[in-house]
Structure 1
Amino acid sequence: MAPTRAQARLGPEIHGDDQSPRAGVSDHCRKGRKRRRRNDRHRSTAKRVKVADQDASRKGRSEDGQPTGDRCLRSGDSKSDPIAFWAENNNWPEFFFDRNMDRLLARKKSVSSLGGRSRKRSQPSSAGSATPSYQEPREEKSARYRDVRYKEELRDNKSYMHDSDLGISDQSKELIKKLLSSEQHPPRDSSFSDSLFSRTCQSVVDRNKTRINRDITPEVVPSAEKLAHRGAHRLACLIESTNEGWSNSVPLTDPRPQPDYSVGFRREAFSNNQLEKMAPMIGNWIAGDQSKIMATYLIYFPFLSCEVKCGSTSLDEADRQNAHTATLAVRGVVELFLAVKRGREVDRRILAFSVSHNHSQVRLYGHYADLKDGDEKYYRHTIRTFDFTELDGKEKFTSYRFVKNVYEVWMPDHFAMICSAINQLSHYPNPEVASLQGSDLEGYSLSQSPSSSEKGNDQEDATPYTLFTGTGPAKKQRRRRGRGEGRGPLI
């Protein structure tokens, strides 16, 4: 039989004895559809490549898709919409990686170094004997400071227990004279009154540290909060701690500071706008993130620390503790001013104070940074050392007067200076930093934080439970795996 016209167009391959014309036509149609779809895909891909090349050339990209020049740094939308910038350039804007700001960013607590201990303590055999470090005797945690070689460890971290070659600035020299000479009224109902002074001093000889803290420390270092409660309203922005570990700070060495008394600014002292700008530096402060501008989770920018010793314990140990503590206090302010390019304002300027005392002797120090050659180093300036029991107590209120002047004369200007630097910070939308919004606090418990849930009973780096006790851990939301989950952004 002669082939039909359609069969003739299809070619001779379908005329075999074992193939019908209908089967050949159907098979050919399928092949034709596949060929058309393949060609459509090629044309679509070629069109997309052409459009992408046009966009790349228009945006300043090279042929391999990488940005050329500094176009991505000049993008006007990078700050207003960094997500769109990332989708457009496949990298984050340069301002996300401001090196001056990176030094100030909060740090997550390291759990890996404590994981082994926490797992061991979670076992039944050791759970009963595990003691949280905040309940351990203070002397055990200060053992490292007793070693005179700790001074060299501080030196390795650019902290020196003496003056720099240039010393403090002229402005700070005038400040010290003012703080020592400005008059202050002696405290009411003081144990250092003329009728009680001699008896008070005799009663604490050879007594323990707790007794000296109770009877002597309030006469040497007045309480900022008590002064505020009694009418010094300008001090309402201050908050103090007593024997609380600086768990939210980034220490120079181990162990982290735990001063007998310290003072800084409370969170409520700053405006909401300032807190938003500081958010990347603070991190998740409830969960225990470590920050260079915090001491405890309540204290921002600390500026005063006090260490107390008793009996035969050397005041040199207290000096070493204070050197570590005050270095952290100075570092926070210095890093802030470097971030806003105002480092010259804090160069060799006293930014923190410390007091070391026992039952009869007092040492007053000022702490500062020397930014010579762009390398910040931290130093200590001796203000006064004296025995307040000599000469019938002639110097008994010297330390009290000095510290109160720090609160009332020096602190307001210091706080205003810090606020001016914070106001210069731009909002820093670092994608790695999750802001802790008010809604997140609802139902939040310290037991949910890495500092407790992953450490078990080990609380070496956690401030004791005081405020934030929630209703229990929140339930995890069930994730639904949808179509396209796990795919990257479509560019």
Structure 2
Amino acid sequence: MARTHRCPTPQIEKTPAQSDDVCERIRRDCPRQMGARRTAQSIPGPTFEAAVPPNAVLEESIEQPAHLPPTNRKRRRGSEDNLEYTVVRSPKRPRSGHRTYNSRHGDETDKAEPIAFWAKEGRWPQQSFEPNSSMDRILARKKPSRSRSRKRSAPGSTSSATPSDQKPREEKSAPYHDPRYRKLLETRGSFMDDSLLGISDDSRDMTTTFLSSEQTFPGHTLFRDSTFKKACRGVEDRNEARVIRDITPLLVPSAELFAINGATELERLIESTNEGWNNSVPLTGTRPQPDYSVGFRREAFTEDQLEKLSPFIGDWIAGDQSFFMATYLMYFPFLTCEVKCGATALDVADRQNAHSMTLAIRAVVELFRLVKREKELDRKVLGFSVSHDHRIVRLYGHYPVVEGKDTKFYRNPIRTFDFTDLEGKDRWSAYRFVKNVYDLWMPKHFRLLCSAIDQLPSQLDFGLPTKLQEYSLSQDLEG
């Protein structure tokens, strides 16, 4: 019950000008005026009502009369001098049907249905991976909303984008022309240099072997003795597309063509030509789009392995981003090639390759961190890149340096040479190196990846069905 506050009795002296009737009227009017003020202020306006939760209790707190000792409460101005509202949580339980809402994590009642939560929030519920919360960081990420909101072009429309959303060659390489891009990569932990200790001894011996091991070279090509010089002159001062057509296949041979021609061990590989790495979690604001890259196709893995990878892959066809994918068809890329015209442009190609291969090496490190084996990868070459123009070739090996929870990425310059020098003595050196990567290194690397994937828990132990991708894909294609 509200307390009754009386107006302090004025100290009135009787004078000839003030009769007892006047004094009595003053005492009578004082409480009446205060009551009117209280009534006017106790009617909450619409703004206040909207701000108060339905289960809150309003309490009136009236300032003490002026003749009492002052308190620590600051006086309010205007109409709040004598009345203020305090919102107090009701001790009563909220009614059934009212749900608490967390603006940061959404409705936590969705945790009981992780698939619905993932579709709504673009992430798995935190409770689903409480045993190892570090997995949250590398779970698949929903396709950016700006991409999802793009209007689909009508069938047959000339404006329809390819699955890789290719950019013109000039546009895709523009950011890399700035020398400061190298420094940007360094802020992301990627260095276009050797580390202090360099690559491991095993990796050094391996790359040396790849440069010298014998290989079989194709016979009827532009690199045969009778046409070599003429072919090299034909691409001088020509654009990159011409160099890619005439020269690149003889420096960086196609893995898929080898598989078509009977190299069954290479059937697990898939390549891309000028395709954007849309499915990779970005490192910078620039999206990699190598002239040529090689990785593993989905069919290379068993159903059990794909099931274990599914939380980290997400809805891969719809464009979800993953640490383990490049394009929607390529898992764990390990080779990239960039082609330029002119010696100075090779520095641009190097920046592009360094960016792409950082994402490729990061994928392997993150996989091994999941099974606590990342230290096995320290200073071990896990991927390769080739930068070339119409004369010069640069070969690099890319590797991580793992120090506890910190990982930095480096590159090792394996060899730089002019394949037109000395009558083309080294014309097949790059071809030999890349083919040895396919034949000698790739099978071991694939077994290494599979050994880590096999150690992953099945669906992270929260029973997520593998039909998630199929359901989401059907919704996306039908939408």
Scaled by the length of structure 2, what TM-score is found?
0.69
Task: Report the Cα offset of residue 431 of structure 1.
Answer: 6.7
8 A Cα contact 1:293 1:301, kept in partner: yes
2: CA distance, partners of 1:437 / 1:270: 18
Task: Report the Cα offset of residue 186 of structure 1.
Answer: 1.0
Q: How does 1:54-453 map to 2 (within 5 A)?
A: 95-96=129-130, 98-111=132-145, 134=165, 136-311=167-342, 314-429=345-460, 435-437=466-468, 440=471, 444=473, 449=476
Q: Which has the larger radius of gyration?
A: 2
Partner secondary structure for residue 102 of structure 1 = helix
Q: CA 1:239–1:420 in 2, change beyond 3 Å: closer, same or farther?
A: same
Q: CA 1:438–1:295 in 2, change beyond 3 Å: closer, same or farther?
A: closer
Q: How does 1:23-34 map to 2 (within 5 A)?
A: none
2: CA distance, partners of 1:353 / 1:321: 13
Structure 1 alignment gaps of length 5 or more: 1-81, 85-90, 450-469, 474-491
Partner secondary structure for residue 98 of structure 1 = helix
Correspondence for 1:70: none
1: CA distance, partners of 2:161 / 2:317: 22
Structure 2 alignment gaps of length 5 or more: 1-110, 114-124
> Which amino acid in 2 is paired with 1:396?
R
1: CA distance, partners of 2:266 / 2:161: 37
Aligned residues: 354
2: CA distance, partners of 1:166 / 1:367: 14
Partner secondary structure for residue 212 of structure 1 = helix
Task: Report the Cα offset of residue 134 of structure 1.
Answer: 3.5
> Which amino acid in 1 is paired with 2:135?
M
Q: CA 1:433–1:324 in 2, change beyond 3 Å: closer, same or farther?
A: farther
Q: CA 1:410–1:129 in 2, change beyond 3 Å: closer, same or farther?
A: closer
8 A Cα contact 1:228 1:234, kept in partner: yes
1: CA distance, partners of 2:296 / 2:289: 17
Over aligned residues, Cα RMSD in angstroms? 2.8
1: CA distance, partners of 2:470 / 2:253: 38
Task: Report the Cα offset of residue 93 of structure 1.
Answer: 5.7
2: CA distance, partners of 1:155 / 1:308: 23
CA offsets per residue over residues 392-442 of structure 1, 9 Å max, x none?
A: 00110000000000000000000000000000000234879774457538x
Task: Report the Cα offset of residue 96 of structure 1.
Answer: 3.9
Partner secondary structure for residue 138 of structure 2 = coil
8 A Cα contact 1:207 1:311, kept in partner: no
**Larger RCO (CA within 8 A; separation ≥ 6):** 1
Partner secondary structure for residue 367 of structure 1 = strand
2: CA distance, partners of 1:281 / 1:269: 17
> Which amino acid in 2 is paired with 1:363?
R
Task: Report the Cα offset of residue 232 of structure 1.
Answer: 0.9
Q: CA 1:278–1:175 in 2, change beyond 3 Å: closer, same or farther?
A: same
Q: CA 1:430–1:146 in 2, change beyond 3 Å: closer, same or farther?
A: farther
Q: CA 1:175–1:164 in 2, change beyond 3 Å: closer, same or farther?
A: same
Q: CA 1:357–1:105 in 2, change beyond 3 Å: closer, same or farther?
A: same
Partner secondary structure for residue 264 of structure 1 = strand
Scaled by the length of structure 1, what TM-score is found?
0.67
8 A Cα contact 2:292 2:336, kept in partner: yes
Q: CA 1:171–1:191 in 2, change beyond 3 Å: closer, same or farther?
A: same
8 A Cα contact 1:305 1:326, kept in partner: yes
8 A Cα contact 1:280 1:435, kept in partner: no
Task: Report the Cα offset of residue 194 of structure 1.
Answer: 1.0
Partner secondary structure for residue 142 of structure 1 = helix
Percent identity for Structure 1 against Structure 2: 57
